[in-house]
A and B are shown apart, each in its own frame.
Chain A
Amino acid sequence: MSQTMIEVNDVTMRFRMNNDRIMSLKEFVTTALRGKLEYNEFTALEHVSFTVEKGETLGLIGRNGAGKSTLLKVISGIMKPTEGTVAVHGNVVPMLELGSGFDFDLTGRENVFLNGAILGYSEEYLKEKYQEILDFSELGAFIDVPIRNYSSGMLARLAFSVAAMVRPEILIVDEILSVGDTEFQAKSRARMMELMGGGTTVLFVSHNLEQIREMCSRVIWLESGRIQMAGSTENVCNHYVI
């Protein structure tokens, strides 16, 4: 079982922010020619290293702006780190925020396929899983209605169903379990547990320590881009003070 899924080696992520983003073209050119373009360097991640084994659920905690989301983006391949390397062995499925990746003029059914395709699944696979996704989402006849008519709860159900009913190798969850009604929340939690039991590696970001304690096997605490503490859930959560 101890197969490494994610290796993060000494990753540093720096952003360059212009002092003044809005400047006229003439000003930009003249300052650039004089070599006086000033950037504020902002380091979002600094020498972060860790590995995640297959089947682990890794929690990420930290204050706003500590670099959690940046780290997830680096892992899922959206950003390239300024320094260091990331190796990912398996397909990464992010649980999309409400609405992103959905087209509001399309029906629920069309969106399942669109979203599935974006998440990297094949047509045959989605067709096979379609009934399962539909059943899990409990949308019933609404699946053939354009989703602009959906309530936010229904959207969340659809999004979660697509991401979780397929069997991703690595699932990235960025604060999403607080959607839907209580019943659906319980159901999605159960599904997450099931996924983890089935060998899916989960990266989980939350500010809710209860959830972290319940779901994670290991926790990393980020503080202004550095790993403040890493280790067993109990240990880190006890030390974590906001």
Chain B
Amino acid sequence: MRKHDRPKAEAPIDIKKPLVIVAAAYIVLVFLFYWLAGDQLHFRQSRGNLDLPAAEAGTVELTQGAVVEQVFKADIQRFQSVSVQWGTYYRPNAGTVTMELYSLADNSLVMSQSFDAAAISEGGLTTMSVDTPIETAYGVPLLLRIYADSLPGGAVSPLMSVSAHEDGFSLTVNGAPTDGVLCFSASGEDYIWTGLHYWKFAAGFGLLLALGIAFVWHRWKSGKHSYVVNALIAVQKYRFLIRQLVSRDFKTKYKRSVLGVFWSFLNPLMMMCVQYFVFSTIFKSDIPDYAVYLLIGIVSFNFFSEACGMSLTSILGNAGLITKVYVPKYIYPLTRVMSSVVNLSISLIPLILVSLVTGVQFKKSAVLALFFLACLVVFSLGLGLLLSASMVFFRDTQFLWGVFSMAWMYATPIFYPESILPEQFRFILTINPLYHFLKNTRMCILDGLSPEPFIYFQCFVIALAMLLVGALVFRKTQDRFVLYL
């Protein structure tokens, strides 16, 4: 084994500052996230939501005196709304229909609402909802009663499914028990466990972080080097080199092109235009805000394929240096990924421009998209390390990667909606990390909603796992690189 003593002249590093910065950043992020995630941190669409069964028949013509009653149970913590599907006999109807919801636990009226029968269309829904969600309806038997004051020949009919059957559900038409289920749906929200305990989580992780900082500080004081301190020393020592290499990549990329840096944002813009034309006119897709949907996909995937493609050759391409000067070898793939990050940030400009032009409103949740982009960066770095190491030993890697990245592109919903995938291929999306990053980036920007807390954790773990695998393989093999270059 060899030891490289640090030269005595090296400036003593100040470890207090970075540690304080880490602690401060954590506190700021905890509050920022709480504010940005908003309601989605606390509630999600209830898993107990009841879906509309397929309509198979009408129940009864709902004239004055007729009553349809459906008893049901729903595991919804914050009950918000009930909808009923109607048939109209394809004729104009008149009168008023009334929906009432009772809780059978104490026989109280929970909500009620009346609708104009004339406004109901065939297969249409009437939805009654409350402003303050009902928190007492969880698992309690509920009674939905529907009646009207219409005259025969001008009355609508609630639809039902004859074949559906659910435990604890019973349908009564004009007092007579009937087989089947009324075509109705119920929805609400559930509390998110992590959201309820957000501050406890934040404090717990904060405590762990504080312990970690104290540990590092203690080791440092007693003159021992922990991993963290070593990393800080490396950052300080190689900061200048990393900056030089990144600026080299960037300068040489557009050298001798007339438009120079402009290409960084013209490129995704032009690609978007072509694909927008192809998929919105030829293949007719009906995704809302398709231009932005497409651009988010293009920008993310461009970054991914550029970062991985450049890392792939980073060790081989710098063979001349690696065999002459000692520099930690991870610097080479790292700087390649970093220059791609610079490109990524530039290509966010057209994304913002196109959003403004097409009228996509940025909500505060758009900031959270940065989290998923950061996950993508970490993931790409991990994969880049893996690829660059593998490329040294098997030159076939670059050809395989060419095919593989193309397959990966098609397996990611960049320009198509995820709904076009048949059910049996759905698993491809589930196992595709890019899909998760992309889906949530889009959700933050396009829907203005934050994904539920678990999704953040999931994406973070995926990215970190890839980085760990890449870094381990790289570390294990790096000593042998020079023999194969």
Contacts and interface: CB of A to CB of B under 8 A. Distances in A.
Interface of A: 15, 25, 73-74, 76-81, 85-92, 94, 96-97, 99-101, 103, 105-106, 110, 113-114, 117-123, 169
A90 B252 contact: no
Nearest to A90: B7
11 contacts: A77-B4, A79-B482, A87-B3, A87-B5, A88-B2, A94-B325, A100-B320, A110-B251, A117-B245, A121-B240, A169-B7
Contacts of A120: 237, 241, 327
A101 B3 contact: no
A78 B324 contact: yes
Contacts of B7: 90-91, 169
A25 B3 CA distance: 37
Interface of B: 1-5, 7, 237, 240-241, 243-245, 248, 251-252, 255-256, 320-327, 396, 479, 482-483
Contacts of B324: 76, 78, 94, 96-97, 100-101
Given A76-B326, A101-B320, A118-B241, 8 more contacts: A80-B2, A90-B7, A97-B324, A101-B321, A105-B252, A118-B244, A118-B327, A169-B7
Contact of B325 (A74, A101, A169): A101
Contacts of B396: 25
Contacts of A118: 241, 244, 321, 325, 327
Nearest to A115: B244
Given A15-B483, A114-B248, A78 B320 contact: no
B485 to A, nearest CB: 10
B320 A99 contact: yes
Contact of B240 (A74, A99, A123): A123
A78 B251 contact: no
B324 to A, nearest CB: 5
Contact of B2 (A15, A85, A113, A114): A85
Contacts of B320: 97, 99-101
A73 B321 contact: no
A80 B483 contact: no
Contact of A117 (B1, B5, B241, B256): B241
Given A77-B326, A118-B327, A89 B244 contact: no
Given A77-B2, A100-B320, A114 B244 contact: yes
Contacts of A105: 251-252, 255-256
B326 A92 contact: yes
B323 A78 contact: yes
Contacts of A76: 324-326
A119 B248 contact: no
A125 B330 CA distance: 24
B241 A80 contact: no
Contacts of B322: 78
Given A89-B5, A101-B320, A106 B326 contact: no
Contact of A106 (B240, B243, B252, B483): B252
Nearest to A99: B320
A122 B241 CA distance: 8
5 interchain residue pairs of minimum CB distance: A77-B326, A100-B320, A117-B244, A117-B241, A86-B2
Contacts of B2: 74, 77, 80-81, 85-88
A103 B325 contact: no
A76 B327 CA distance: 10
B4 A88 contact: yes
Nearest to A169: B7
A76 B320 CA distance: 15
Contacts of B4: 77, 88
A84 B483 CA distance: 18
A97 B321 CA distance: 10
A99 B324 CA distance: 12
A169 B6 CA distance: 12
Contacts of A15: 483
A86 B1 CA distance: 7
A89 B245 CA distance: 27
- From A92, A97, A117, A121, name the one whose CB has the most chain B CB atoms within 10 angstroms: A117
